[in-house]
Amino acid sequence: MSKIKEAFADGKVFIPFLTAGDPNLEKTAEYIQELEQAGAGLIEIGIPFSDPIAEGPVIQEADLRALAAGTTTDKIFDMVKGVRDKVHVPLVFMTYLNPVFHYGYERFFDRCRDSGLDGIIIPDLPYEERDELLETANKNGIEVISLIAPTSRERIRSIARDAQGFIYLVSSMGVTGMRNEICTDLEGMIREIRAVTDTPVAVGFGIHTPEQAKNIAAMADGVIVGSAIVKLIARYREHAGKDIFAYVRMMKSAIEE
Amino acid sequence: MQKGRFGIHGGQYIPETLMNEIIHLEEQYEYYKNDPQFQAELEDLLKNYAGRPSLLYYAEKMTRDLGGAKIYLKREDLNHTGSHKINNVLGQCLLAKKMGKTRVIAETGAGQHGVATATAAALMGMECEIFMGKEDTERQALNVYRMELLGARVHAVTTGTMTLKDAVNEAMREWAGRVEDTHYVLGSVMGPHPFPTIVRDFQSVISKEAREQILEREGKLPAAVLACVGGGSNAMGMFYEFIPDESVKLIGCEAAGRGVDTLQNAATIANGSLGVFHGMKSYFCQDEYGQIAPVYSISAGLDYPGIGPEHAYLHDSGRAQYVPVTDDEAVDAFEYLARTEGIICAIESAHAVAYARKLAPAMRPDESMIICLSGRGDKDVAAIARYRGVKIYE
């Protein structure tokens, strides 16, 4: 079993996201440890991109701050390699295709393996185009995580059947960011996914309150939260550790209820 | 070639949320493309609303002045709304309407595509929202008001470099949030498949007419056709029917801003490298880590860090040639055409005129060339005055 799937083996998984290099890479390394100690079961690390078309304003701004602070893909690999033996949960990159493509697939995934990454999420790489890098990623032990959206309909089955690691179920239309209401028929979609695969399903986009997390966890295997954490970092910069810990602890206990 | 690919370029690199919509669009386009009723309606709109066919004008004074090839101007500036953009917009809005959409959104740089989309939406009774970089809303303030007059809502985009690429980002985000009733009228031969093909097909009316017109006038094909290139829609339209005519040189003129060797340009073929962005694999201006570079041109319409995938392919295969033209050269050509032929063209189109001024004297008088005059220049007058340090009161 892959390390990512194993993470889902005992109980609901809380999956936080943060943008690497915001406010700086030393802090990112520290916050990654903070996230694990607070109860994260898997951590998504964003490689910032100049034009993140699937992100709402909170993560867009974090990306631009990180890039302005001089964050590069090479420095992120170094940071991950440094923190890898201090945390035990799977680490997954989230980024856009161009930074990966431009780095060179062979070189990129070789460095992923070397740094101890477990998977990658690329929102602008749909199912039809993933042959682009699937083999190179897998050869290096990196799983390519697929997204399923409220509009996926008849595509759900084929995406789910070939899914690796876990399935990232997009809760809502549009971009990332906190929402007060999630209207998608998640239950129905999860049922369809489960009919064809036992790959775990984690739900993301819009979730920020313990109540939402609890409701989602009743249906899904994991809950993904990005913007709410990135917003804490935007607010408290170098001093966000305590607040991140408290927030993740609260969300984690909500999904365990 | 693979479906939706031009050599290695093209593809569908977009979020899952948009995939079904894009597949649906492709199916619908394939159906209506071959539907005589749809084609008849579109032809009627192009003829009786947009004013097609556009003139192929023999620029006799310019020809005499440059002393080489005979110069013809394909007058897309004379279309309704003042540019070639209307060709694509009428096609896409009609298609959207047939698909049951009630709302259209679009990005715009100079405002020409935004104005065209707002116009078609008004005509067809559709809701319309336009995304435009804040910097562009300032340098093209008149076009913003024009769109509002036509009933569109204009969103000034304040993210990133606040220009065309950011407007595309924002339009894509908006579309991902609302596909049910909304069609994204992409304005250039770019984005995910099937957009590069759809826009090229609707714009190819330019070369279809021009080819017939020049054969009628000259009895033979031109030696070269020229067009400015940002994303590349007027160029693709101007090139398309000439691609099989191997004797015809296809020349795209890129915006070199303050020079290809400066950091301030938008010359994608000269300075870009292979990448994947805005749904397509193609050439992009980017840094060593694949971050999209901020680009610059005096022309808001060419101020884009990428180029359509079919152009990338024409470049790879050597069928078309792409040359950089600076702000200075474009402004000189803008003024030159105004004084020589009495035509104030768009600053975008002036990039093609500028290269023609270099090329024509080196050609024989029995040869001809066609420059696509993609738009008219009223929108640019204030910016040119500023460039020249002239104070005018609008």
Question: Given this model, what pLDDT does residue A257 score?
Answer: 74
Q: Give residue A207's identity as a one-letter amino acid code.
A: I
For A16, the domain range is 3-256
**Contacts of B251 by beta carbon, 8 Å cutoff, 6+ apart:** B224, B225, B226, B227, B320, B321, B322, B323, B352, B355, B359
Q: Does B2 touch chain A (CB under 8 A)?
A: no
B138 labelled catalytic? no
> Which CATH number goes with the domain that contains A31?
3.20.20.70
Domain extents for chain B? Answer: 7-24+85-199, 50-82+204-387
Q: Which conformational region is residue B307 in: left (phi greater than 0), alpha (psi within -120 to 50 degrees), or beta?
A: beta
Q: Judge whether B204 counts as a catalytic residue.
A: no
| Residues of B in Cβ contact (< 8 Å) with A60 | 159
Residues of chain B with pLDDT under 70: 1, 393-394
Q: Are A25 and A35 in contact (CB under 8 A)?
A: no
B18 close to A (CB below 8 A): yes
Q: Is A105 on the interface with B (CB under 8 A)?
A: no
Tell me whether strands B9-13 and B279-284 are parallel, antiparallel or unpaired. Answer: antiparallel
Chain B residue with Cα closest to A48: B291
Instruction: For residue range A179-218, list pLDDT tens digits in order.
Output: 888 888 999 999 999 999 999 999 999 999 999 999 999 9
Number of structural domains chain A divides into: 1
Tell me: domain B50-82+204-387, CATH 3.40.50.1100, correct? Answer: yes
Report the amino acid identity of residue B328: D
How confident is the model over A43-50, as a mean pLDDT?
98
Output the six-digit token pair for B137: 């809303």
Q: Is the CB of residue A64 less than 8 Å away from at least one CB of chain B? A: yes
User: In what helix (H) or strand (E) does residue B86 lie, and over which residues does it extend?
Assistant: helix B85-98
The pLDDT assigned to B108 comes to 96
Contact state of A129 with B11 under an 8 Å Cβ cutoff: yes
What is the Cα–Cα distance from B285 to A102, expressed in whole angstroms? 12
Q: Compute how many other C-beta atoms are within 10 angstroms of the C-beta atom of residue B44.
A: 11
Could you give the 3-state DSSP secondary structure of residue A256?
helix
User: pLDDT, tens digit, for every residue of B155-167?
Assistant: 999 988 888 999 9
Chain B residues touching A98 at Cβ < 8 A: 275-277, 284, 286, 290-292
Unique residue bearing structure tokens 């607010």: A235
Query: Which residues on B lie below 8 Å from A99 (Cβ)?
Result: 289-291
B77-105 CB burial, b ≥16 within 10 A, e <16: bbbbbbbbbbbbbbbbbbbbbbbebeebb
Of B19, B169, B276, the CB nearest to A101: B276
Q: How far apart are CA B251 and CA B318, in angstroms?
A: 11
Residue to substitute from B13, B18, B165, B186, interface A, most A β-carbons within 10 A: B13
Q: Does B39 touch chain A (CB under 8 A)?
A: no
How far is residue B104's CA from residue B117's CA, in Å, rounded to a whole number?
Answer: 8
Provide, for chain A, the percentages of residues in helix, strand and coil under a 3-state DSSP scheme, each rounded to the nearest 5: 50, 15, 35
Instruction: Say if residue A157's pLDDT is above 60.
Output: yes
Share of chain A above pLDDT 90, in %: 95
What percentage of chain B has pLDDT greater than the value 70?
99
- Determine the Cα–Cα distance for residues A119 and B102; give it in Å rounded to an integer: 41
Question: What is the model's pLDDT at position B1?
Answer: 66
Q: Which residue of B has its CA nearest to A65?
A: B160
> Given this model, what pLDDT does residue B139 score?
79
List CB contacts of B120: < 8 A, sequence separation 6 or more: B86, B89, B90, B92, B93, B104, B126, B185
The domain made up of B7-24+85-199 has a fold known as Rossmann fold (3.40.50)
Catalytic residue among B54, B83, B233, B374: B374
Q: What is the pLDDT of residue B138?
A: 87
If phi > 0 it is left, if psi is from -120 to 50 it is alpha, else beta; for residue B219 that is left
Quote the CA–CA distance of B394 and B392 in Å, as a whole number: 6
The span from the CA of B234 to the CA of B205, in Å, is 10
Q: Residues B251, B323: contact at Cβ < 8 Å?
A: yes
